[in-house]
Amino acid sequence: MEGTGKIWMNGRLVPFGSARVHVLTHALHYASAVFEGLRCYRTPRGPAVFRLGEHVRRLARSAKMYSMEIPYTEAQISAAILKTVRASGLDECYIRPLAYRGHGWMGLTPTKNPVDLAIACWRWTAGESRAGRGAAGIRCKVSSWARIDARAQPMKAKAASNYANAALARVEALEDGYDEAIMLGPDGAVAEGGAENIFVVRDGEISTPPLSSGILEGITRDSVVQIVEADGGRVAESAIMREDLYVADEVFMTGTAAEVKAVASVDRARVGSGRAGPVTRALRRAYMDAATGRDERFSEWLTPV
């Protein structure tokens, strides 16, 4: 990755190359970290962060679920995010705030360590991968790894520990020649992708797994739902089974990094035409219009940098 600008660490902007942590940082050993992923887009009114308030609120809630007291208010975190973007000089970037247990005490109990906060940003137009950004769509594999049971850990938290599971699924998918994994929940229903929520279109109906299925409460997911509703449609929240993916007219994934990505095939079964379908294309366009300030109806989602 391209190291640009400065990284905000506990209130100080430090040069990209000097943003270091101690090797005994608790989070490195016990995954005691929660984080966010946001994007700043170039808009007609200058660079703006998309749904800043919602991302910072989710960070605060993720921290609360893990008894982490971030020593900054949501307003202070929002201001620090804007400051970090400004200091980078970038007019479009991905932003990664990370709250983590630092060092001082070693052992499982996280609460004996301070909660540190870091905010980095970088140019990341492609997000996790270039695959699926065009009409071609991504090839997905239903993972042999089940998504973590929400009775085992809070899956609504965007916690580092969730990503050990997602990374196993991602690596398996890549090694088997796919672009991304789709994970089933402990009940066998479709949960989410490695770093995306999932939607299915069939006979004109758009559906997505309910939040009760142990998935991340995706902000892109919510944006897509709100866009569909603003245009007079609706998205059903209902259980999606593996076989529903095979016979769908369209499947697409949403996420801050991925934006709106078409799924071309699942387990080598072609989805619809095998290319981005009309609903996916329309929603991708509508989402990008909202995120880049071209759709005034959603201008309150943008915070100028």
Ligand X SMILES: Cc1ncc(COP(=O)(O)O)c(C=O)c1O
Would you name the residues annotated as active-site residues? 158
| Minimum CB–partner distance for residue 128 and ligand X (Å) | 9
Q: Give the interface segment with ligand X, choosing from 105-113, 190-198, 269-277, 295-303 (CB under 6 A).
A: 190-198
Neighbours of 124 (CB within 10 A): 18
Ranges of H-type helices in the chain: 26-30, 52-65, 74-88, 162-175, 219-230, 242-246, 278-291
Q: Is 192 in the site for ligand X (CB under 6 A)?
A: yes
Interface residue with ligand X among 218, 272, 277, 293 (CB under 6 A) is: 218
Neighbours of 104 (CB within 10 A): 12
Q: In terms of Cα–Cα distance, which of 121, 255, 236 is closest to 194?
A: 255
| Minimum CB–partner distance for residue 205 and ligand X (Å) | 21
Site string for ligand X, 220-259 (x = CB under 6 A): xx--------------------------------xxx---
| Minimum CB–partner distance for residue 228 and ligand X (Å) | 15
Q: In terms of Cα–Cα distance, which of 123, 50, 61 is closest to 303?
A: 50
Q: Is 185 in the site for ligand X (CB under 6 A)?
A: no
Q: Is 206 in the site for ligand X (CB under 6 A)?
A: no
Give the tokens for residue 260. 């709106």
Q: In terms of Cα–Cα distance, which of 246, 143, 134, 128 is closest to 195?
A: 128
Site string for ligand X, 138-177 (x = CB under 6 A): ----------------------------x-----------
Contact assessment for residue 182 and residue 87, using Cβ atoms and an 8 Å cutoff: no
How many residues of this chain bind ligand X (CB under 6 A)? Answer: 14
Q: What is the DSSP string of 59-70?
A: HHHHHHHTT---
Q: Give the interface segment with ligand X, choosing from 21-29, 41-49, 216-224, 291-299 (CB under 6 A).
A: 216-224
Q: Which is nearer to ligand X, 113 or 190 (CB)?
A: 190
Cα–Cα distance for residue pair 303/223, rounded to 1 Å:
15
| Minimum CB–partner distance for residue 80 and ligand X (Å) | 19
Interface residue with ligand X among 128, 180, 196, 250 (CB under 6 A) is: 196
Identify the helix (H) or strand (E) that includes residue 39. strand 38-43
| Minimum CB–partner distance for residue 224 and ligand X (Å) | 9
Amino acid residing at 211: L
Amino acid residing at 294: R
Tell me which residues touch ligand X (CB under 6 A): 37, 166, 192, 195-197, 216, 218-221, 254-256
